[in-house]
Amino acid sequence: MTEPLIVGAMVRTLGAYPSGWRYPGAHRTPQTDAEILRLVAREGEDAGLDYLFFGDWLATGPDLEFRDPYLLARIDPVSAVLFLAGVTSRIGLIATVNTTYADPYATARSLASLDVLTGGRAGINLVTGAEPRAAGNHGRDAHADNESRYDRAEEFVAALRGLWDSWSEDAWIADAERGVLIDPDGLRATDLDGRQVRVTGPLNVARPPQGRIPIVHAGTSPRSRALAATEADLALIAAPQRDDAVATRHALREIAERCGREPETLKVIAPVLPVVADTDADAHRIVERLLALVPLADDAHAGRTAFPANRSVDALADALGVDADDPLRAAAFDSAVSADEAHRLGAAGDALIERVARIAGLRVGGRSGGAGDGILRWRHLVAAHAVPAAFVVGDASTIADHFEAWRDAGAADGFNVLSAFQPAQFQAFTRLAAPELRRRGLLGRGDGVETSTLRDRLTGLRPVTRHDAP
């Protein structure tokens, strides 16, 4: 019998789609994130998800308002998982740490503390950074180059594991009668003296229940893939097309095998942005509204700082190769796209129209009856082109079909579930899609596991420490 998928939630309190915060009833105030975090944790745990995942970004700026609003102001991920440790009892908690700027001892200590406090539910996502503004925020003149960042990341992993291995499993004796608290031979120094990372140890936190806390990594560069394939328990990939995901998973496992690792121990996780409703038609209407809410280049946004240049009909026409003197360039956002205009958009336009029809149920032609009438408008096309998203849209069965097809094709071992807006879309996934996934045997990886650590859920394997090795 095929084992269930690994299913976690990538938590973005302002939603994963740029216009999600504008959807009626959506959460839109970072000052009240605590309320949403508690709700997401409760919903995710009750649905049987394996973990909650918190990404990070070490800078902000007005440009993010239109590109990635959820990055403007967000809770530090380690703070978020520590906050949720007290309101959850089963679900894994994965926090992102940037190895370029973080201190390895402090990181090892905070994650080991989380693991002890939660009984083995901590996980860490290691990133090397990609935001130049972060350098200034950490007192540096320039962002480090790719090679040096990954040199440091590799040493950072070695430091974490050495520190987590500070205490042997039987080091804590606590024999009150004899007055013997520890076996001093079971407490070992780390003594890592790398080119970029130096740490002596030992760690002044008890041994994490998981031994070595699960490591997550994502990236597309050769160095990033090598780090994921050799050191990570979960490799996060960005592959919206199934065939690309199959190839990426195969390549990562090949690297792992060449490095002497059992390839099956590397679990490859793909992102998914489901829009879930009771029916496919209801889900299509949600996507149509999200597209309609994407801010476009009209008078209301004239002069706004860093407003994207691609959010106009004229910019769309440029991208699709439409003649410079074609009158459709002057089309109003809310006018319907006629069959003749659609024809003039060419093959690339056909593909865009087909995608909008698939995710939002909108069609060219027909009698316009106002918003929500199922008619394709220029607003929808511009938004879908300027703010693309790999939506999976439909009822519970449609969402489960997607998960099942990817698993059966060997495209992924699991999914990071994003929600276009909070909390309604996350609740739709947990209350509609999750029961169907469980019915099909696609969800429930932790069911029946005697010890409910995150590592048990992800791999079922106990890691060999450097002190266990012969």
Tell me the CA distances in angstroms from 175 to 91, 168, 180, 182, 309, one per residue in order.
Answer: 34, 17, 5, 8, 69
Which of 70-79, 162-171, 404-413, 446-455 is the least confident region? 446-455
Give the model confidence (pLDDT) of 106-146 as tens digits: 999 999 999 999 999 999 999 997 778 898 999 887 778 88
Phi then psi for 253, rounded to 5 degrees?
Answer: -70, -30
Tell me the CA distances in angstroms from 45 to 48, 92, 209, one per residue in order.
Answer: 5, 9, 20
In eight-state DSSP terms, residue 336 is: B
Give the pLDDT of residue 469.
Answer: 47
Give the model confidence (pLDDT) of 321-370 as tens digits: 999 999 999 999 999 999 999 999 999 999 999 999 999 999 997 666 56
Give the pLDDT of residue 470.
Answer: 40
What sign has the CA pseudo-torsion 72, 75, 76, 80? negative
Q: What is the mean pLDDT of residues 76-96?
A: 97
Give the pLDDT of residue 370.
Answer: 60
Give the model confidence (pLDDT) of 227-236 as tens digits: 999 999 999 9
CATH for 6-278+391-458, options being 3.30.360.10, 3.20.20.30, 3.30.590.10, 3.40.50.360: 3.20.20.30
Domain coordinates of the chain in residue numbers?
A: 6-278+391-458, 295-386
Matching residue, tokens 């865009």:
352
What sign has the CA pseudo-torsion 423, 428, 433, 435? positive
Distance CA 237, CA 413 (A): 11
Question: How would residue 464 be classed by pLDDT, with cut points 50, 70 and 90?
Answer: low
Whether the predicted pLDDT of 71 surpasses 90: yes
> Do the bridges between strand 198-199 and strand 192-193 make them parallel or antiparallel, or are there none, so unpaired?
antiparallel
Question: How would residue 459 be classed by pLDDT, with cut points 50, 70 and 90?
Answer: confident
Give the pLDDT of residue 448.
Answer: 63
> Do the bridges between strand 122-127 and strand 92-98 make them parallel or antiparallel, or are there none, so unpaired?
parallel
Tell me the CA distances in angstroms from 320 to 347, 352, 400, one per residue in order.
Answer: 8, 10, 34
Give the pLDDT of residue 191.
Answer: 97
E strands, 80-212, are: 92-98, 122-127, 172-175, 180-182, 192-193, 198-199
| Higher per-residue confidence, 161 vs 129 | 161
Assigned token pair, 287: 């996507």
Total number of residues shown for the chain:
470
Q: What is the mean pLDDT of residues 368-390?
A: 87
Matching residue, tokens 């496919």:
280
Nearest one of 243, 155, 168, 153 to 203, comparing CA atoms: 168
Q: What is the mean pLDDT of residues 143-172?
A: 94
Give the pLDDT of residue 463.
Answer: 61
Residue 5 · residue 445 · CB < 8 Å = yes
What pTM was computed for the model? 0.95
